[in-house]
Structure 1
């Protein structure tokens, strides 16, 4: 079966007649059955949010206050957080926040972590239900991207505390929202994503375009996105790796 039939078998019935005639259609995001598929659903937009957040905090160091449930950067930036989990540098292992009983994390800071466990149980995704396990490089960023996207958070943050990294999601009106009109950001953000995170390029690209409000024309080796007269085209090899990315913006 074609991957596109699997991924995009459910099209919106509310299609613009002009773009439909040109071969473009409105697609919904597919269901997911693994951690990697869940990552592909959210990675593009989550990285764009992360880059915005990086501009907000600059070079300020961080400080986590578990009592108030906040993380601060410098003297003027304080944000509420949800604790997702942590990565240990000692053995390169991941521990979910809900499994870290010895840290005494308040339950109200673990709501998202617990929800990820719950959907993992429903979907039978072992990485979401095992409390502590060995992981590969950049796993903490993958989880941050998943949580940020799944919960529609403003950003995630990986706080390096020397022996490991604490992963949190952040929501605050102090963090600017994505500028929907700046469609050219896809051209700069997506190459950064695939250059740093291992994932299916084609699936992640399609889901990023869906998040950015594009209508799509889907072919086996090419994905075209149209939004407000602006066109973005990604070409892929037989292994779904990006070969070229261009835009008429």
Structure 2
């Protein structure tokens, strides 16, 4: 796998968990972005500062990093996290973080933003417009969005990720449980996760490394 594929497998589940929590928070609210102020408003009651990630162009099928959008007149203060991701890419050899533009059939905005969410601890929003989509991090969100998911939602997150993406299943399971604060026993026959509240999760894999069984015992709340 490439360095980006490795990072994706390590961070996609935690990134997805934050996106599901964000969707619960936002509900059906519309969005309005004010780049001059560096703010996004959802409905009439939610407002957050942002950090730009990048944009998708549906006309030419490309991704453009915000730090490479020289014609966008983006305030440098909104590019700090994108710049950090570029430096992370330089340090660890992740070309997808250092190339200004990428074809969407190679890696799309959701995949980039999910990895970015895992690395930075911030959820992201994808806002569509005529001809493309804009991606940005949201700052200062409630702890229920940024924090660890409850044990009962662990099955949901892992199930959605493993169905949606072609990833190394063991890497996804082990990384997600560790990032969510579970104690993990990773053995040849499978993975056992133990949560601080007493909940347990057992995952076994087939000969191709895919999840073959996932069972658990959750503590009542």
Q: TM-score of the superposition, structure 2-length normalised?
A: 0.90
State the alpha-carbon separation in 2 of the partners of residues 138 and 165 from structure 1.
Answer: 14
Matched, 1:79 2:52: no
Partner of 1:203: 171
Distance of aligned partners of 1:198 and 1:62 in 2 relative to their CA distance in 1, 3 Å threshold? farther
State the alpha-carbon separation in 2 of the partners of residues 186 and 113 from structure 1.
Answer: 29
Q: Which runs of 5+ in 2 are unaligned?
A: none
Deviation >6 Å, runs of 4+:
none
Q: How does 1:110-149 map to 2 (within 5 A)?
A: 110-136=79-105, 139-149=108-118
Q: 1:104 aligns with which of 59, 65, 73?
A: 73
Q: 2:152 aligns with which of 166, 184, 188?
A: 184
Q: 1:61 aligns with which of 30, 35, 40?
A: 30
State the alpha-carbon separation in 2 of the partners of residues 133 and 179 from structure 1.
Answer: 31
Partner of 2:67: helix, strand, or coil? helix
Q: Deviations over 1:118-173 (max 9, x none)?
A: 111122221111101212387211111111121112x1111111311111111224
State the alpha-carbon separation in 1 of the partners of residues 2 and 92 from structure 2.
Answer: 6
State the alpha-carbon separation in 2 of the partners of residues 89 and 137 from structure 1.
Answer: 14
Q: TM-score of the superposition, structure 1-length normalised?
A: 0.80
Partner of 2:120: 151
Q: 1:223 aligns with which of 188, 191, 194?
A: 191
Q: Deviations over 1:55-91 (max 9, x none)?
A: 1111112111101111111111111111011111122
Partner of 2:54: helix, strand, or coil? strand
Aligned residues: 217
1:174 deviation in Å? 4.2
C-alpha contact 2:203 2:213 (8 A) present in aligned 1: yes
